[in-house]
Structure 1
Amino acid sequence: MKKIKYSILTLITATTIYSCTADFEEINTDPNRLETISPASLLNPILYGLTNHNSYSAWHNRTAHLMQGIVPFPSNDALGYHRYWVTDAIGQTMWDNHYRWLKNIDEMENASIAAGDVNYQAIALTLKAWSFANLTDCFGDIPFKEALKGDEGILKPKFQRQEVIYKKVLEYLDQANALYDTSKALIYAPDLLYGDKNTQAVASWQKLNNSLHLRMLLRLSDVMPAESNAKLVTILNNPAIYPIFESSADDAILIHTGVAPNLTPWPRIQDYAADKKLSTFFVDQLLQWNDPRLPFWATKATDKDRKDIGYKGIPSGYAANEGAIDYNPSAPNNNTAIAPMKNIIMTFSEVQFIKTELAFKGIISGDIESLYKSGITAAMKIWNIDTPFEYFSNGNVAYNGTFEQIMLQKYFALYFTDNQQWLEFRRTGFPVMPLQPNLYNNGKMPVRYPYPQDVKRQNTENYQDAINQMGPDDINTRVWWDIK
């Protein structure tokens, strides 16, 4: 796969799209204004907007805190996501961002159909499935069928049950897979994800579509095991019909060049690690593995005299008064955020860990240890790091036959991948993380985001119907697929 370094098509396109009427008098037609849009004019702003949010807000500001990666420091505030203290505001930006871009995805799909371009239609369906899945995984029941219809006068959309949404999302992925035509090139401008105007870009999008399908089916494997496992096997046994990621070259990673307008979410790089450190759980695990990713992801700690003391984190959820910590802990390394920065949608490593889990559970055949090693090796390639020859001879890394070990390595493989670490923890209960005694919520990991306040105020009746069918609007109400 070529990870291109093209600049984004004008971002204004994505925020100035309005419904047009067809009955303007000819005299009122502006000859300098486009009367129709191409699907490609929407694609790059959508990719930029969603992946920027997922790296900056979804992962860096929420998941990395909940999942004991990043720890706020210094902080005399007794609150914080790392202490499981969550307010209704936690999901506001995700709700706003995803629905905003879903509207543009909807416009892209309509433009693709009008143009008779099946490949852009398929891409729109892939993006729609991915975005709605992210939303419903975080909130549970959400507006779906009546969402995105403000221009039709539906300003207070009804909520759908998550199982209804997931059924439709899986249909989108099947529909997209059937539409992709790899004999045809993408005829418009290169896209930020897969680039060149050739048939290879179409094949790459199709692989992403089906790899996302694996992710979503695995998420449903507890609540609907027969159906999800059967479809997983069908996809994996039919690569000609359902091509998936085959190597790290297929990784769906959008590269931010740092050249305007393709800027990273951190235009001031000092903001990336400001007032943040890495957790003891995160650092110590990588130290046990002698993992080559640690120097890339972390800075070294220093003592009170600013002398190097190696890599050393702090406990996530530490007591509010950090005065007892007499050293400067390891912080996130700016390497991860400086341009060219990687915004991760999905990787070959994740696919390999999906296969590892399925083989472990006997759902597919395959050598579990080989798949496990392949997933780790691919996880390092995300960061352009080669796996040392001796890495798997480390007793803490060598496959020990446990599901917990597989999921612990997958946790690090999902580093910087939107909400996926948190979602996988909710699905499996792994990795097991140390808990401090002063956590909120009785030390229980939050399992969903509460609905944003403006949703409660502006769509009160449908909001009330949603919580009547789903359960209380709090962080402990499990979504449909979370039945462990």
Structure 2
Amino acid sequence: MNATTIKKQLTRSFKAMGLIVCSVLLWGSCKDMTELNINPNGVGEEAVNPNLIMPTVLSEAARIYLDLGYQVTAGIMQHTQKDAWFSDHNDYDWTGSQSWNAYYDVLRNNELLYKRAQEEGMEFHQGVSLVMKSFMFGAITDLWGDAPYTYALKGELGGNENLLPQFDEQETIYRGIIADLEQASSLLSKSASEYEGIVADVDVYYQGSPDSWRRFANSLLLRYYLRVSEKLPDFSKEGIERIANNPAQYPLILTSSADATMSFPGRTAADSWPDNTVIDDTGGSNFRRRKMCATLVDRLQELADPRLAIWAAKVEIPLVVSDEFPAGTDEIVDGKRHVSPDVVGNAVVDTDPEYVGLPPSFSALPSAYNLNPTPGQTSFNPHVSFVNDIYTATSGPLLKARLLSAAEVNFILAEAALKGWNVGSASTYYENGVKASLEAWTVGGQYADYITHDDVAYAGTVAQVIEQKWVASWTATAEAWFDYRRTGYPALIAGPAALRSVLPVRFYYMQDELNINRANAEQALQRLEKTAYSQADNENSAWSKPWLLQGTGKPW
């Protein structure tokens, strides 16, 4: 079947049923697929073309990952804070609100993609499906710990072990992810002309490039080998050394042009950058409530980091506080707000004339920070930095879901080298990681100056590598959180209004899963390690440690 024939089939199928047919949306992690409503005008699962399913799998996975990295984990990792609707973002007040349903919905669609690709002998699509299976299951176990895996996608086969699947142990899931990625790398090792059925337009990441997908698979292998390095050091060392020393067999994402990203067309709410102010039924309030966090802003200013101007907006009205002003002074002069010390009183203020971040978990009324004259739900604080105005648009060259970057890969290899593993030069990887991130954010021309800064120039420490990796994770902070849990870096401190005095390490299992699949969930709960920060008599805590962290003494 040639590309022209496939495109004709896609056109006919889209007209008949639309993309909704490929979204095999199911409820929970255990719903029986035989209960689906059938579209009488649609193509049955047994005949659907894999190219109809792929764009839904890729786009939904990317949106989930972006939502994770730009929302809750950006609050945890102190890239951003919110000044309204803030308690989950700033204070970790989650109480079981996170749900993995959307993750498993993508996985079910992806399972159908793999099944149909196998039946049609489409190896490229099989490889892509295995990469996405690994990516999504990786996110689930990274976030929650033990989770349904072996039996999670077999509800149509019946039986309680499928309808109410057991929670696999974290080690089992990580080993399965790594095995699937090894298989995916092999499946994706041929040139594009050797595959059947590739349609570039339906691949919203790499436009049908097997080589790019192979690099994505191998780079994910590095991510997960490093993820388990504290628990399985010999296994991780062997895997990372094998990949690093066999570039022909394991090509990697090493330059920013190869990053795994998804752009947004920006035509509708469904395909636009989230929190834009153009197509936003909240009237732009989602954008308005998001502020830069002082932790990130202050550090980027200390480093004279050129990325700050790309990510953050300057304060609209700087504060000027001086004891030379007469008592009671509070007025706008030449675009600045002049305030006398008696007006400030005991309030915490930041008088930086350009960038001011909102401190992490600052108070029960963060909108009042820095003498905001209009605190509250409808606040528009002129004295704190919003995110850059580019994020008000529906699309743009920098508005992408970023799944995995060259910066991350180089920092992984730098950390491996610092462990003493045989992978190459730690300093070279570190510097390449910094350069790749600057290039991805259009400020690569400032690399030569930036890398000579006292705190940026290579110092040979894991703390420095992880700090730069944390900075580079802007809009993709989930990976920074996972690194923090594993290493304790950067050494972030919870704010005074946070639910606990330390940062959380996992998501709560959602209440629906605990109610419906109670017996299996209970077993998973018993495998969590309660800590001094877990709620009394409740293993299902964001401060209880899953297998990955148990016995490591990290991050606290």
TM-score relative to the length of structure 2:
0.78
Partner of 1:325: 370
Q: Does 1:166 align with 2:174?
A: yes
Determine the C-alpha separation between the residues in 2 that align with 1:337 and 1:54: 20
Aligned-partner SS, 2:71: helix
**Residues 195 and 81 (structure 1 numbering): CA distance in 2 closer, same or farther, change over 3 Å?**
closer
Aligned-partner SS, 1:370: helix
Q: Does 1:117 align with 2:117?
A: no
Between 1:414-423 and 1:120-129, the stretch displaced more is 414-423
**Residues 292 and 418 (structure 1 numbering): CA distance in 2 closer, same or farther, change over 3 Å?**
closer
Code of the aligned partner of 2:387: P
**Residues 396 and 13 (structure 1 numbering): CA distance in 2 closer, same or farther, change over 3 Å?**
same
Q: Report how far residue 387 of structure 1 moved.
A: 4.0
Aligned-partner SS, 2:451: helix
**Residues 469 and 395 (structure 1 numbering): CA distance in 2 closer, same or farther, change over 3 Å?**
closer
Determine the C-alpha separation between the residues in 2 that align with 1:418 and 1:292: 19
Q: Does 1:268 align with 2:277?
A: yes
Q: Does 1:88 align with 2:146?
A: no
Q: Does 1:54 align with 2:65?
A: yes
**Residues 342 and 17 (structure 1 numbering): CA distance in 2 closer, same or farther, change over 3 Å?**
closer
Partner of 1:98: 103
Question: Which runs of structure 2 are paired with 1:10-29 in the superposition (5 Å)?
Answer: 10-16=18-24
**Residues 229 and 85 (structure 1 numbering): CA distance in 2 closer, same or farther, change over 3 Å?**
same
Determine the C-alpha separation between the residues in 2 that align with 1:434 and 1:346: 26
The alignment covers a number of residue pairs equal to 460
Q: Is the 8 A contact 2:291 2:357 kept in 1?
A: yes
Aligned-partner SS, 1:345: strand
Between 1:308-317 and 1:138-147, the stretch displaced more is 308-317
Aligned-partner SS, 2:364: coil
Question: Aligned match of 1:128 in 116, 124, 133?
Answer: 133
Q: Does 1:404 align with 2:471?
A: no
Q: Does 1:368 align with 2:426?
A: yes
Partner of 1:250: 258
Aligned-partner SS, 1:238: coil
Partner of 2:490: 431
Question: Aligned match of 2:547 in 477, 480, 484?
Answer: 480
The percentage of aligned residue pairs carrying the same residue is 28
Q: Is the 8 A contact 2:127 2:188 kept in 1?
A: yes
Q: Report how far residue 30 of structure 1 moved.
A: 7.6
Q: Does 1:303 align with 2:346?
A: no
Determine the C-alpha separation between the residues in 1 that align with 2:205 and 2:237: 30
Question: Which runs of structure 2 are paired with 1:453-464 in the superposition (5 Å)?
Answer: 453-464=511-522
Question: Aligned match of 1:221 in 191, 214, 229?
Answer: 229
Question: Aligned match of 2:47 in 24, 28, 36?
Answer: 36
Q: Report how far residue 160 of structure 1 moved.
A: 0.8
Q: Is the 8 A contact 2:435 2:444 kept in 1?
A: yes
**Residues 234 and 324 (structure 1 numbering): CA distance in 2 closer, same or farther, change over 3 Å?**
closer
Q: Is the 8 A contact 1:102 1:128 kept in 2?
A: yes
Q: Report how far residue 292 of structure 1 moved.
A: 1.2
Q: Report how far residue 148 of structure 1 moved.
A: 1.7
**Residues 173 and 227 (structure 1 numbering): CA distance in 2 closer, same or farther, change over 3 Å?**
same
Code of the aligned partner of 1:378: A
Q: Report how far residue 87 of structure 1 moved.
A: 1.3
Determine the C-alpha separation between the residues in 2 that align with 1:159 and 1:470: 12
Partner of 1:292: 306
Q: Report how far residue 343 of structure 1 moved.
A: 0.6
Determine the C-alpha separation between the residues in 2 that align with 1:376 and 1:113: 40
Question: Aligned match of 1:180 in 168, 172, 188?
Answer: 188
Q: Is the 8 A contact 1:70 1:276 kept in 2?
A: yes
**Residues 480 and 31 (structure 1 numbering): CA distance in 2 closer, same or farther, change over 3 Å?**
closer
Q: Is the 8 A contact 2:493 2:502 kept in 1?
A: no
**Residues 284 and 125 (structure 1 numbering): CA distance in 2 closer, same or farther, change over 3 Å?**
same
Q: Report how far residue 238 of structure 1 moved.
A: 0.8
Q: Does 1:384 align with 2:392?
A: no
Q: Is the 8 A contact 1:125 1:173 kept in 2?
A: yes
Q: Report how far residue 39 of structure 1 moved.
A: 1.6
Partner of 1:4: none
Q: Report how far residue 368 of structure 1 moved.
A: 2.4
Q: Deviations over 1:216-270 (max 9, x none)?
A: 0000111000011111100111111112113222111111121346333335353
Determine the C-alpha separation between the residues in 1 that align with 2:484 and 2:143: 13
TM-score relative to the length of structure 1:
0.89
Determine the C-alpha separation between the residues in 2 that align with 1:386 and 1:185: 36
Between 1:255-264 and 1:65-74, the stretch displaced more is 255-264
Determine the C-alpha separation between the residues in 2 that align with 1:81 and 1:265: 16
Between 1:141-150 and 1:98-107, the stretch displaced more is 141-150
Determine the C-alpha separation between the residues in 2 that align with 1:276 and 1:186: 45
Partner of 2:328: none
Q: Deviations over 1:116-154 (max 9, x none)?
A: 111111111111011101100110110111112222233
Q: Report how far residue 423 of structure 1 moved.
A: 0.8
Partner of 2:343: none
Q: Deviations over 1:89-118 (max 9, x none)?
A: 0x21xx011100000110011001000111
Q: Is the 8 A contact 1:278 1:332 kept in 2?
A: yes
Aligned-partner SS, 1:372: helix
Determine the C-alpha separation between the residues in 1 that align with 2:435 and 2:409: 12
Q: Report how far residue 347 of structure 1 moved.
A: 0.9
Q: Report how far residue 452 of structure 1 moved.
A: 0.6
Code of the aligned partner of 2:434: I
Determine the C-alpha separation between the residues in 2 that align with 1:351 and 1:188: 27
Between 1:59-68 and 1:325-334, the stretch displaced more is 325-334
Determine the C-alpha separation between the residues in 2 that align with 1:32 and 1:62: 37
Between 1:105-114 and 1:156-165, the stretch displaced more is 156-165
Between 1:187-196 and 1:232-241, the stretch displaced more is 187-196
Greater gyration radius: 2
**Residues 307 and 436 (structure 1 numbering): CA distance in 2 closer, same or farther, change over 3 Å?**
same
Q: Is the 8 A contact 2:261 2:401 kept in 1?
A: yes
Q: Is the 8 A contact 1:39 1:120 kept in 2?
A: yes
Q: Report how far residue 315 of structure 1 moved.
A: 1.1
**Residues 48 and 194 (structure 1 numbering): CA distance in 2 closer, same or farther, change over 3 Å?**
closer
**Residues 74 and 133 (structure 1 numbering): CA distance in 2 closer, same or farther, change over 3 Å?**
closer
Q: Deviations over 1:325-369 (max 9, x none)?
A: 225211111324630321111011111101111112211253322
Code of the aligned partner of 1:334: D
Code of the aligned partner of 1:307: K
Q: Is the 8 A contact 2:80 2:293 kept in 1?
A: yes
CA RMSD, Structure 1 to Structure 2 (Å): 2.5
Determine the C-alpha separation between the residues in 2 that align with 1:434 and 1:169: 32
Aligned-partner SS, 1:317: coil
Where structure 1 has 5 or more consecutive residues not aligned to the other structure, the ranges are 1-6, 22-28
Determine the C-alpha separation between the residues in 2 that align with 1:165 and 1:324: 44
**Residues 113 and 281 (structure 1 numbering): CA distance in 2 closer, same or farther, change over 3 Å?**
same
Determine the C-alpha separation between the residues in 1 that align with 2:491 and 2:43: 57
Determine the C-alpha separation between the residues in 1 that align with 2:78 and 2:369: 20
Instruction: Flag the structure with more relative contact order, 1 or 2, with Cα contacts below 8 A and sequence separation at least 6.
Output: 1
**Residues 298 and 272 (structure 1 numbering): CA distance in 2 closer, same or farther, change over 3 Å?**
farther
Determine the C-alpha separation between the residues in 2 that align with 1:365 and 1:32: 51
Code of the aligned partner of 1:343: A
